[in-house]
Amino acid sequence: MEPKKIRGSFLERNLHIIFPMPAVIFVVVMMFFPVLYTFFLSFTNWNLTSGMPLSIVMLRSYQRILREPRFLAALGRTFSFTALAVSVETILGMIIALILNREFKGKGLTKLIMLLPLVSTPVAIGIAWNLFYDPTIGLANFVLTRLGLPKQAWTGSSSTVIPSLALVDIWQWTPMIALILLSGLASLSNEPYESARVDGATEWQIFWRITLPMVTPTLLTALILRSIDALKTFDIIYAMTGGGPGYSSETLNIMAFKYSFEYFRMGQASVILVFLFLLVLIMSLLIVRMRKSLEL
């Protein structure tokens, strides 16, 4: 395809600038500037409720937040929630994709059912799971007692709240990982499998030596995308526990939200946001890098 002859009107000659312009301006104005403003605010001690004008305190808000045990706990929790949810989702998603990767009657219906959790409204899902987890009338404890196990407090206790919330995330997002891997598996060529079978390889060897390496690029992209979304999980946690009991399910996102819109400590909230932002940015760069090296 040789490049087009330059010709035509101003619009046509500059189409590659004019066409994306509105979208770029929109994103810059609505996202880029606000993020810069947040950076600026993180160097102030602005508090909306105090009525005092904002004053620049440089790194003092950072010092305060970094020494805040609540922040460090939230940071750790954000990671442990993400690690727990995403690792289970990946393993389960892989298993499900391997099972479903063949032709069978009802495959379309199975895929449709797997789509439902991820298009469901997270707030509504969270509330429905609260009904399951309800210690006195919930189905979760009914199942446990039937199995002869002791009842649990689920989201009601600081020791079980994170796994309980992660379970909801796992329910909602495992199908997505499975669907992505399924389409990755479907695009693999048959040749290496056939020759491996001719050579008498076991199914287990075939999985580790052929399937896994070939599906790794898809798997990694899905994994990082999912991790970024898990780091930002808000709706489910906010709707189910609001960060409680105490602060025991408070992640960075929830903490930043409370600092901004409940305590109106904008300066300190901005510091938390900068950390969350950097975390997501690092993960995003990882994706971009990987896409480049894998030429996706």
Partner 1 sequence: MRISWIKKGLFFVLVLAIVIPVLFPLLWMLASSFKTQVDIVAWPPRLVFTPTLQNYERVFREQNFLKYFINSSIVGISAVAFSLIMGLPAAYSIARFKQKRLSIFILVARLMPGISFLMPWYIIFSRLKLMDSYVALILSHMLITLPIIVWIMSSYFETIPIEMEESAMVDGATRQRAFLSVVLPIAGPGIVTSVTLSFIFSWNNFMFSQVLSMEKTKTLPIAIYNFVSYAEVDWGAVMAAAVAIMAPAIILTMIFQKYVVKGLTMGAVKG
Is 282 near partner 1 (CB under 8 A)? no
Q: How far, in Å, CA of 257 to CA of 273, rounded?
A: 9
Which listed range, 107-115, 148-156, 157-165, 197-205, lies at the site for partner 1 (CB under 8 A)?
A: 107-115
Given candidates 74, 166, 185, 222, which one binds partner 1 under the rule CB under 8 A?
A: 222
Q: How far, in Å, CA of 53 to CA of 21, rounded?
A: 37
Q: How far, in Å, CA of 220 to CA of 228, rounded?
A: 12
Which listed range, 63-71, 101-109, 195-203, 204-212, lies at the site for partner 1 (CB under 8 A)?
A: 101-109
96: number of Cβ within 10 Å: 19
CB nearer to partner 1: pick between 27 and 58: 27
Given candidates 58, 66, 91, 124, which one binds partner 1 under the rule CB under 8 A?
A: 124
Single out the residue of 228, 229, 253 nearest to residue 243, CA to CA.
253
CB nearer to partner 1: pick between 65 and 239: 239
Given candidates 59, 66, 91, 118, which one binds partner 1 under the rule CB under 8 A?
A: 118
Work out the end-to-end distance of the chain between its first and last CA atoms, rounded to an integer number of angstroms: 21
Given candidates 23, 148, 159, 199, which one binds partner 1 under the rule CB under 8 A?
A: 23
Amino acid (1-letter code) at residue 95: I
Cis peptide bond upstream of 69, omega within 30: no
Is 225 near partner 1 (CB under 8 A)? yes
Least distance between partner 1 and beta carbon 157 (Å): 19
Collect all residues with Cβ–Cβ distance below 8 Å to 279 and sequence separation of at least 6: 78, 231, 252
Q: Which of residues 132-151 bind partner 1 (CB under 8 A)?
A: 132, 136-137, 139, 142
Given candidates 112, 149, 212, 294, which one binds partner 1 under the rule CB under 8 A?
A: 112
